[in-house]
Structure 1
């Protein structure tokens, strides 16, 4: 019997080996594999050790999961690939950004609770951690299906789709035929990474708000070409909302009405197959948008049938490098006044990934610039230069060329401006690449301004002087140090050890921002004379710095050594801020411009946020300054009984979304997961246009990839925003930030503070108010909680009781208010596991995902001293959609009983 079992096992191994040997013969020329399932049940897992994956029924798409080792670091990546395009055929990845995950033993599992999860083992851990998962627990998921258009979906027992990749992932490397390419999706140029996997390159494409496909450089969002149709000839001029690729690029309205098409323009091998049968895919190739299809005779051979055909050589952004001018007739590069041309690329100083992809091509094995321009003469700064450029969707209206020039001069982040006299528009950029010159004898009415703030000759002179001076100083300093060590060794040795430790710390931080001296920051802040605010660890002062890019207004935070705060603890606090902020970069996070670590001085230099913190605008009306511009007014609501203004509904919604995106980046997208630990209106800062950025990472805690939680030895944060687990001395996770964010969301809805002497804790007051206003629909549950049914509630009464009464009655849509209220209550639930992730919050607010807390009923748990639990649960399932129109305040509603 034992012998028979042994032979059976041996036979199984032989068959398995035979399958691996025969695998190349089972794969068709198009890359498909015979016999792969298109749907798998609960409990299915895929690992990087698998040879077979899921495949769509039409054999055009496959589920792929790979791992590899790069420079000794194990990495993995997974997603859906297009079988008719190789190499680098991955269409989208499971990562929120298409970058590889760091770790080994990657596994994609459809768990028994209906959640699709991607897990891996980090280098410093022996147990797997979840890197990504779907918010589908408890939604009766039955299987995972790969559809014929490449959409990966989770299907429930009734056959309905409860989650789909096309509604979640917005970053693509190719657009397959029959797929809807909508406005919140971006197509990227590809940099080869490993096998069929890529990372985003320099170029990208999106569906613009004006209904055209916009091709732009990721580093500065400069649009260099667009593709679209003329809707004014086809009737009411409706703007296209999405495209579908068949034989041609077809444009459709948001209602699915066909508006027109851009015809295929490569006639080889015509006629093309029937549009519905055409297996095409759009992708970037050398800055052009191309569409190809496999050859019928050889599927690995690609036949092109569309090319965006950028015929003007000067329209390609990188042909003349940074700030280069391009002659379209001679194809020669030159430099603007105040610059000189160089064929040797200066050392790449770009910090963020998109800019490095464009400005540092040699790092990514891409063609280098033929030349580039470097500044030499600041006297020619902001001189008008006649140029020719594509219309920029980011441009805004101005009255004159001088106004555009002045806007760039006053904007610290603007180093280049483009003015178009034809449309009286102005676009500002942190930097520019190639800009075309007008053809001879033609006036375009377009002008470029460039800031020039330093010269290479001055830098060289200063460098020579510095070398001579430093040599003299070093010699004298050596003598002084020797004498100092002999006399004061008992003091010097510990001080020297501390300084060495500081230097090691500074050397270990990647992407270190500029380092300033204390005297520089003392002068910049006028001896710290204008205080902007005070926090638990220091004060913030307004300052002005002279940088190579011009005069920049900044906010300088000085950490104070007060009370029982020792120098060791202060250094620990300071290093936490520098390490954390220096490692992240996101449009919704306040950026660190520099720091000072000199003797006992610990200072941080941040970008200046002119509108201050959210608490300034949320609780107290602001005076209606006579200098307010029209752009200011659109974000504010004047109070009828005074000359003061408050934030309107649309602005509050935008602030909520901006804040959620910043926290989502910290939790899910930064190199290390970061928990902010002190989310509150005072740490949400507003720029000139009332866009929000999350600031003050002083309490932030970095979580390595091997950990999803950590323990705090002391209570931190701010009363009123602390999650219950802080008070219970439990593990702190990213869900602790979600709770704090939920309190902020309630403050945006109500206009009340988190802690109020009259009403107490805001979440508790909100739930009590809902309960008191709906006594007829309240019922006691088995555990003694109070259950409220949202379907039978009077939503208008709830809104009237809770909403900020200073807002105009008809300015807040009823459905939108109720749905945001539900999201806020979901965030402040007592159990961290019941709160949504910040990624899910962003998706809900952007209407990418439906709010799927079921049913719309609220269980009100017992009151607690420091917090109040609210959970959404029940046996039936329903959905509340936070639509983009509703959330942006475009809908209108009535306030009953106001």
Structure 2
């Protein structure tokens, strides 16, 4: 763990005798949180540099760890004494005093004015997201970033954006260079000690008696083997979790990419066996991920996300046009294959799948440091382990493209026909509610175990037959409007033969129906769905008869 908070792996170059960085957790320097200190902003010009926002200055001219300090005394002033300066493509991580989705710009501005602790706000126009900041920490500026930070300043303050554009302040690379020099010095010292140890051993061997040579040699060999074993164990511990694979390794592991086990919008998936006998799933990404910037952004996003209901990524390969991701292998394959092609799934497992998938999506929508929309929730992207615990796949592959509003053509194509929310066709701004729609449709399919997502409209005697989902939802709404019983017995898979919890089945149908509302504002959030399902998670006892409620 280096002084800047980034985790790096150093390897010894035997030819030059120097230590070089062979892997680091955050490849982009501006991705290291807090590298420019409090209030500081890391900006690429094109090299990474630290700078202070308008109205601020360095706390100490030679130390960016101290960050920036305001040139003014900020008190709880009246709104007419305050102004906002727009900093395009700029934001600060976290410390959100105000958070609201589907908010107008004026609402966001007024909320920050009314809150004395608010130092500024960022607003994402395409999703109407409002984030008010109570502290300015880990600032960064990137040309492709869609948010604008509106900095709160006294109206009398004269401020300019030139300071940020030019990166006039000392750059972050100085701190990095100092770090590398100190690291190099440290490792040179270690190397010198090792060389002195060998010299001492050699000198002792010449001048000592045979018995002393024997015990000294035995001690040195033992220590050398112990140190080497420790280094190898440490290397394996780091690289086995998240490492860079060569294309040759993955080609060999998958037997030249034979045995395809899945295919989606982002690429094809192959089963492989690594040299250490670990079974993995190797995803070969499509052409859209061939650009270095896109690929590294996706790897960075996925590498930060960890949840028991998300498929874990172990590593990646980036060699020229070859872009591959290495995931854990999930034994029972996809929900799609189990639900529609295999034996029927027991009710306990069905409810577990619905709850686990909701937890994973709620984590992506509400708990991640970086906001992620999946955009392709479907049974084919829900993998099941040996205990039928669900794991969501492909969850990070739309992140950068969703963040870049200019790439709307790809956004319209994102997802699988049949599971896509109506707003895709209407070309409305995409929010997390597209995942809610797809989840609701999938839950209804879990209950009924038939494909409701088919958009294939059959024709009989020149008359169009309605899609399954339209027929299903209209019938349920009719029963609800008339105050009739939902008729759970008719809705649940007949192969269960009554062995299911009616309370859980009714809840899943009601949740599914609320999720597939055409008006996205009427759909629930994923965290509220998790709370509803957890309340009846204990209702797992199967009825003894069809009449038991």
**Aligned to 1:582, which of 270, 282, 303?**
303
**Aligned to 2:263, which of 524, 528, 534?**
534
The match for 1:665 is 363
Q: Offset of 1:885 from its aligned partner?
A: 2.6
Q: For 2:377, what is the secondary structure of its paired residue?
A: coil
The match for 1:605 is 326
The match for 1:766 is 472
Q: Offset of 1:106 from its aligned partner?
A: 4.5
Q: Residues 575 and 823 of structure 1: is their aligned pair in 2 closer, same or farther, counting only changes over 3 Å? A: same
The equivalences for 1:172-571 within 5 A come to 456-457=227-228, 513-546=242-275, 551-561=277-287, 567-568=290-291, 571=292
Distance in 2, Cα, partners of 1:755 & 1:823: 20
Distance in 2, Cα, partners of 1:524 & 1:560: 20
Q: Offset of 1:649 from its aligned partner?
A: 0.9
The equivalences for 1:35-74 within 5 A come to none
Q: Offset of 1:525 from its aligned partner?
A: 1.7
Matched, 1:788 2:481: yes
Gaps of 5+ in 2: 1-58, 60-64, 70-91, 104-110, 136-224, 235-239, 459-464
Distance in 1, Cα, partners of 2:314 & 2:399: 21
Distance in 2, Cα, partners of 1:893 & 1:73: 69
Q: Residues 893 and 594 of structure 1: is their aligned pair in 2 closer, same or farther, counting only changes over 3 Å? A: same
Q: Offset of 1:711 from its aligned partner?
A: 7.8
The match for 1:812 is 500
CA displacement 1:192-221 (0-9 Å, x = unmatched): xx9xxxxxxxxxxxxxxxxxxxxxxxxxxx
The match for 2:174 is none
Q: Residues 728 and 524 of structure 1: is their aligned pair in 2 closer, same or farther, counting only changes over 3 Å? A: same
Bigger relative contact order, structure 1 or 2 (CA pairs below 8 A, ≥6 apart) = 2
Distance in 1, Cα, partners of 2:231 & 2:500: 60
Matched, 1:102 2:64: no
Distance in 2, Cα, partners of 1:71 & 1:760: 65
Q: For 2:318, what is the secondary structure of its paired residue?
A: strand
Matched, 1:824 2:503: no
Distance in 1, Cα, partners of 2:93 & 2:544: 45
Q: Residues 526 and 894 of structure 1: is their aligned pair in 2 closer, same or farther, counting only changes over 3 Å? A: same
Distance in 2, Cα, partners of 1:895 & 1:608: 39
**Aligned to 2:409, which of 710, 713, 720?**
713
Q: Offset of 1:890 from its aligned partner?
A: 1.6
CA displacement 1:793-813 (0-9 Å, x = unmatched): 133xx22332222222x2123
**Aligned to 2:454, which of 755, 761, 776?**
755
Contact 2:305 2:368 in 1 (8 A): yes
Q: Residues 456 and 677 of structure 1: is their aligned pair in 2 closer, same or farther, counting only changes over 3 Å? A: farther
Q: For 2:366, what is the secondary structure of its paired residue?
A: helix
Contact 1:721 1:739 in 2 (8 A): yes
Matched, 1:593 2:314: yes
Which structure's residues are more often strand, by fraction? 1
The equivalences for 1:643-792 within 5 A come to 645-697=343-395, 699-701=397-399, 712-714=408-410, 715=412, 716-753=414-451, 754-755=453-454, 757=456, 761-770=467-476, 774=479, 788-789=481-482, 792=483
CA displacement 1:13-66 (0-9 Å, x = unmatched): xxxxxxxxxxxxxxxxxxxxxxxxxxxxxxxxxxxxxxxxxxxxxxxxxxxxxx
RMSD (Å), alpha carbons: 4.1
The match for 1:892 is 543
Q: Offset of 1:713 from its aligned partner?
A: 3.0
Distance in 2, Cα, partners of 1:675 & 1:580: 12
- Give the count of matched residue pairs: 341
CA displacement 1:682-707 (0-9 Å, x = unmatched): 11111111100111136423599xx9
Distance in 2, Cα, partners of 1:582 & 1:839: 23
Q: Residues 793 and 537 of structure 1: is their aligned pair in 2 closer, same or farther, counting only changes over 3 Å? A: same
The match for 1:799 is 488
Q: Residues 583 and 710 of structure 1: is their aligned pair in 2 closer, same or farther, counting only changes over 3 Å? A: farther
Q: Offset of 1:766 from its aligned partner?
A: 1.6
Q: Offset of 1:602 from its aligned partner?
A: 0.9
CA displacement 1:220-259 (0-9 Å, x = unmatched): xxxxxxxxxxxxxxxxxxxxxxxxxxxxxxxxxxxxxxxx
Contact 2:97 2:131 in 1 (8 A): no
CA displacement 1:833-878 (0-9 Å, x = unmatched): 111111111111101xxxxxxxxxxxxxxxxxxxxxxxxxxxxxxx
